[in-house]
Structure 1
Amino acid sequence: MNAQTIVLTGAAGEIGRMLRTALARDGRTLRLVDVQDLPAAEADENVEIHQGSITDGAFMQDVCAGADAVIHMASLLDNHTWENYLEVNINGTRTVLEAARLSGVRRVVLASSHHAVGFHPKYEGASAPDYMYPRPDSFYGVTKVAGEALGSLYHDRYGLDVICLRIASYQPVPSDNRQLGHWLSPTDCLGLVEAALSAVDPGYRIVWGVSDNTRRWMSLDEAESIGYKSVDNAEDYAEEVLGNLDPTNVQNGHYGSHFLGGAFCIPDFDGTAAGFHPQH
């Protein structure tokens, strides 16, 4: 097995913490990047800890030197000012891509989000296609559209393989009835990332990050074309989820929206968004 070095940004985040453990294997070194403190490497853990900002080009170029791939998960998730989003989510993504290019990294896996297309209506009886044109539901969604555009540019201009994962709702288990349609399990998230790392000559792709749920809203065509195979289904949790619905939240919360972006699309989102925590 050839040795492999992978840079993982956002390693202190929920998905980053899962990937730190789940991506581990013999012959693979993970370079963990986050502005926050990260736990030190265990004695049997083949990781390097790099604390710093993804907006620091020199830092990121040092981290990327000699790496085979970058998994870019770092992002501001909650409701932030436009200036903060611009600096971290957009400029930071451009900095990561540029560092990868200058360091000779050939593949970047970018974490995008269903919020990039959140104002598209849910498809009834059909799956939302992989390459839906942007209809972001928030500034956060706009930053994910920008990240996809930057990935496209770095593929077309510089030849990087870039796979954008439009992650739907990453959770250990689905927590509301919307997630019965767009849940991404930890096991399937890992499978999707591994597929993105190992696909042969993928070029530029946008793929939905979702488990093969019975009530799934999103296409799996592009994900399966790069080797992804879902093993989980939110329907296994349907009885419990539907039995715990809060009837007072049906119209204004995650349950009531007819859009892909859910609660991000309600009229008063800008005034209440500080309490929302997008899964990606």
Structure 2
Amino acid sequence: MAASSGPRTILLTGAAGGLGTLMRELLPSHGYELRLLDVRPVDGAPDAIVADLNDTEALRAAVRDVDGVLHLAGISLESTFDKILESNIRGTYHLFDSVRAEAERRGGPAPRVVFASSNHAIGFTPRPRVEDGDPLVPVSTLRRPDTYYGLSKSFGEDLAQFHWDKFGIETVSVRIGSCFKEPTDVRMMSVWLSPADGARLFHAALTAKDVGHTVVYGSSANTRLWWDLSGARALGYDPQDDSEVYADKLLAEFGPLSDDNPAHLHMGGRFVDDPPIWPY
């Protein structure tokens, strides 16, 4: 898929969160003007829209005249089903419905959506033993969510497919690994997405032509990579970073991956048996 000149005014949901904060800093260098939305005030951004994802009036105003949406909002850890339902499932539905309504208002193409999916949509997939010759995990692998959180990401991917098939809304669903300034343990080295590569990937997803609904994995070009990045590269993504530069430090602190550690057996890590809980 060749890149187009692409969108320039982007609604960034979840702008006050960890990933949203990183993208607020990095995406303008790719030529974007950002319209910010979060349920909490955004530090340093008095013009940000403060609204819940279930505030349909605020969402419809937020998507008005934008070229694309980077949808990062929602609960990013495990929680009760009711909380996940309201934030990640109903909220994501309202986001897509607002984009559909905006396209109807315009009488033309809908804004492109980039949806923050997650590796936890396939969390129960056994980690590949790439060092022993196992193939990289393809995007087509069966979804096996590890939590209500992972289940909500599976729903979001299906919702995106539905909106493409029924309404022609283009979406790239990015199964993000762990986007932090640096990996914090040995497992994360396989799924780490550097913030700079995150911005490169989101830019590619916003500008590639004819994506329909495309699902890709989101990580850097890690030496210890577990999944197939060919779909992301086909969008024009060219990752520049590799977690291997942190290997000596992390291996000295934690030791290598072990089959005695349940968090090392599956793609979802500790989400499979001891997930971190959303504090709010």
TM-score, with length taken from structure 1: 0.88
Instruction: State the match for 2:129 in structure 1.
Output: 124
Asked if structure 2 preserves the Cα contact closer than 8 Å seen for 1:5 and 1:29, the reply is yes
Q: How far is 1:131 from its partner?
A: 2.3
CA distance in 1, matches of 2:194, 2:262: 22
Shift of 1:273: 3.7
CA distance in 2, matches of 1:259, 1:253: 8
Residue 33 of structure 2 is aligned with which of 29, 32, 42?
A: 29
Post-superposition offset of 1:97: 0.5
Indicate the RMSD between aligned Cα atoms, in angstroms: 2.2
Shift of 1:114: 0.3
Residue among 3, 7, 15 paired with 2:11? 7
1:149 matched to 2:158: yes
For the residues of structure 1 that align with 2:30 and 2:227, how far apart are their CA atoms? 34
Q: Any idea what SS the aligned residue of 1:170 has?
A: coil
CA displacement, residues 37-68 of structure 1 (integer Å, 9 cap, x when unaligned): 112448xxxxx411101111111001101111
**Alpha carbons of structure 1 residues 70 and 85: separation in structure 2 relative to 1, 3 Å:** same
Q: Which amino acid aligns with 1:32?
A: L
How far the C-alpha of 1:189 sits from its partner, in A, is 0.6
Contact kept in structure 2, 1:22 and 1:190, CA below 8 Å: yes
Q: Is the 8 A contact 2:7 2:206 kept in 1?
A: no
Q: What's 1:16 paired with?
A: 20
Match of 2:99 in 1: 100
Corresponding position of 2:107? none
| Contact in 2 for aligned 1:195/1:226 (Cα 8 Å) | yes
Partner residue of 2:59? Answer: 60
Alignment partner for residue 265 of structure 2, among 252, 258, 276?
Answer: 258
Q: Does residue 1:194 correspond to 2:203, yes or no?
A: yes
Q: What is the aligned partner in structure 2 of residue 71 from structure 1?
A: 70
The one-letter code sitting in structure 1 at the alignment partner of 2:100 is R
2:81 equivalent in structure 1 = 82
2:28 partner SS: coil
Q: Is the 8 A contact 1:52 1:59 kept in 2?
A: yes
2:42 aligned partner: 38
SS in 2 for 1:12: coil
Q: Compute the displacement of 1:28 (Å).
A: 3.5
Q: 2:118 aligns with which of 113, 119, 129?
A: 113
Higher relative contact order (Cα pairs below 8 Å, separated by 6+ residues):
2
Secondary structure (helix, strand or coil) at the match of 2:277 reads helix
Q: 2: CA distance between counterparts of 1:76 and 1:26?
A: 27
* C-alpha separation in 2, matches of 1:145 and 1:30: 27
Partner Cα distance (1:3, 1:68) in 2: 5
Check 1:275–1:10 CA distance in 2 against 1; reply closer, same or farther (3 A cut): closer
What residue is the counterpart of 1:213 in the other structure? 222
State whether structure 2 residue 243 is matched by structure 1 residue 244: no
| Runs of 4+ more than 4 Å apart | none
Instruction: Give aligned-pair identity as a percent.
Output: 35
Question: 270, 274, 277: which one pairs with 2:277?
Answer: 274
How far 1:202 moved relative to its partner? 1.1
Shift of 1:29: 2.2
* Greater displacement, 24-33 / 118-127: 24-33
CA contact (8 A) 2:7 2:207 kept: no
TM-score (norm: length of structure 2): 0.88
Contact 1:9–1:34, Cα closer than 8 Å, also in 2: yes
